[in-house]
């Protein structure tokens, strides 16, 4: 009887720990999304201003490259945080996965095409692999 009571206490502690962990993840990701949104908006404003200045003859290409890089990384961080939130929802049963059929051949062709375009792989290497 005592062993069963101890197991119930341990299970309750484990559930509470999981609840607190989920709450921490949720709060943290939401808190991080706010400054990322501000950064993203500021970058968009800088891009607009850079375009205006470039139109006036100021060379802004160097800045534009960095603005676009920052913008992509902000998008990437937002995506990672959304994935973390989705994983938490999935773990708690709030999201039910719905498997879908995918055309793997098309996916591989798209990836290889991108690699070829970026000179990351040589077309001859693909032919040799077949």
Query: Which of 106, 95, 78, 88 is CA-nearest to residue 25?
Result: 88
Domain of 43, in residue numbers: 2-97
Q: Is a pLDDT exceeding 70 seen at residue 130? A: no
Output the six-digit token pair for 47.
């891009």
Same domain, 9 and 53: yes
Same domain, 90 and 119: no
Query: Which of 82, 98, 101, 104 is CA-nearest to residue 30?
Result: 82
- Sign, CA dihedral 115-119-121-127, equals positive
What pLDDT sits at residue 123?
A: 64
What pLDDT sits at residue 34?
A: 86
Angstrom distance (rounded) from CA 106 to CA 127:
17
Same domain, 80 and 47: yes
Angstrom distance (rounded) from CA 120 to CA 130:
18
Task: Write the pLDDT tens digit of every residue in 31-83.
Answer: 888 888 888 898 888 888 888 887 777 777 777 788 888 888 888 888 888 88
What pLDDT sits at residue 48?
A: 86
What pLDDT sits at residue 126?
A: 59
The more confident residue out of 95 and 20 is: 20
CATH number at residue 93: 1.10.287
């Amino acid at each position: 009887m005592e062993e069963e009571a101890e197991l119930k206490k341990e299970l309750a502690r484990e559930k509470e720990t999981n609840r607190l962990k989920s709450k921490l993840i949720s709060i943290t990701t939401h808190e991080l999304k706010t400054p990322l949104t501000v950064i993203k908006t500021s970058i968009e404003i800088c891009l607009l201003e850079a375009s205006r200045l470039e139109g006036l003859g100021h060379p802004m290409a160097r800045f534009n490259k960095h603005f676009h890089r920052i913008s992509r990384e902000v998008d990437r961080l937002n995506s990672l945080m959304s994935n973390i939130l989705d994983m938490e929802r999935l773990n708690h049963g709030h999201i039910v996965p719905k498997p879908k059929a995918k055309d793997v051949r098309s996916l591989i062709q798209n990836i290889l095409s991108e690699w070829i375009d970026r000179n990351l792989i040589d077309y001859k290497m693909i032919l040799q692999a077949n």
